[in-house]
């Protein structure tokens, strides 16, 4: 039985197949480790895409709400961009930590 197994390993097709398999799994530019790393990166990017699509929808909703309500728009401009009317004075209070 040992001679059959030893003879099988000397077969050209077996040697070529083993070499090809080792080459594709470990040596090639698209080896198994690179494929795993790229797959993990793809999963992370898909997660980020879902997060940003959710944020975009949230911003669209806020924008529609701001553009439809003048009082809310004025409040937003005063708080976020420190805008004021010409007759007003603006005081900014900074709290120490």
Q: Per residue in 24-72, pLDDT tens? A: 888 888 888 889 999 999 999 999 999 999 999 999 998 999 889 988 8
pLDDT of residue 41: 97
Phi, psi of 31 (to 5 degrees): -65, 175
pLDDT at 3: 62
Higher pLDDT among residues 68 and 82, named by residue: 68
Q: Rounded to whole angstroms, how far apart are CA atoms 75 and 62? A: 13
Nearest-angstrom CA–CA distance, 70 and 4: 88
Q: Give the pLDDT band (50/70/90) at residue 84.
A: confident
Instruction: Please name the residues in contact with 15: beta carbons below 8 A apart, sequence gap of 6 or more.
Output: 9
Residue 79 has pLDDT above 70, yes or no: yes
Domain boundaries of the chain, sorted by first residue: 1-28, 31-83
Number of other residues whose CB lies within 10 A of the CB of residue 58: 10
Helix (H, G, I), strand (E, B) or coil at 93: coil
Task: Give the highest mean pLDDT range of 30-39, 71-80, 82-91.
Answer: 30-39
């Amino acid at each position: 039985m040992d001679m059959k197994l030893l003879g099988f390993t000397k077969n050209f097709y077996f040697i070529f197949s083993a070499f090809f398999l080792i080459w594709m799994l470990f040596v090639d530019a698209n080896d198994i480790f690179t494929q795993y790393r790229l797959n993990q990166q793809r999963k992370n990017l898909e997660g980020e895409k879902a997060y940003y699509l959710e944020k975009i929808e949230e911003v669209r909703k806020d924008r529609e709400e701001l553009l439809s309500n003048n009082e809310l728009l004025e409040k937003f401009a005063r708080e976020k961009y420190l805008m004021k009317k010409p007759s007003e004075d603006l005081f900014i209070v900074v709290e120490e930590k």
